[in-house]
Amino acid sequence: MPMSDMPKYGMPSGALPMLILRVLQSGSLHGYAIGQRIHMLSSEILGVEEGLLYPTLQKMLMKGWVTAEWGISETSRKVRFYRLTAQGRKHLKAELSQYDRVTQAIQDILRTA
């Protein structure tokens, strides 16, 4: 699947932290897996560039939304797994409800206008 790895669309700005938080909700993942999961779950529409993923993860570590701990990858390599913190969970909830309200509003306009 050489070509399918390539993102078809860029990531909407500001959405990445929310998506990362969401995919981490079901358990901790390493960086590469986070990218893969987002790519997969978006039915291979959204791709995550490494150049954006790692700075975003650093920012989220700094904010305290995620923590990193050592684990062993599926290729039995020592690698850092990112895990959601309580603070991150709270932030995700807030983000989601905010997002819902905004999309709802946009939808309303698109439907009625």
Site residues (vs another protein, CB under 8 A) = 1-2, 5, 30-32, 35, 50-51, 54-55, 57-59, 61-64, 68, 73, 75, 77-80
Smallest distance, another protein to C-beta of residue 88, A: 12
CB nearer another protein, residue 12 or residue 64? 64
Q: What is the DSSP string of 20-85?
A: HHHHHTTS-EEHHHHHHHHHHHTTT-B---HHHHHHHHHHHHHHTSEEEEEEE-TTS-EEEEEEE-
Smallest distance, another protein to C-beta of residue 50, A: 6
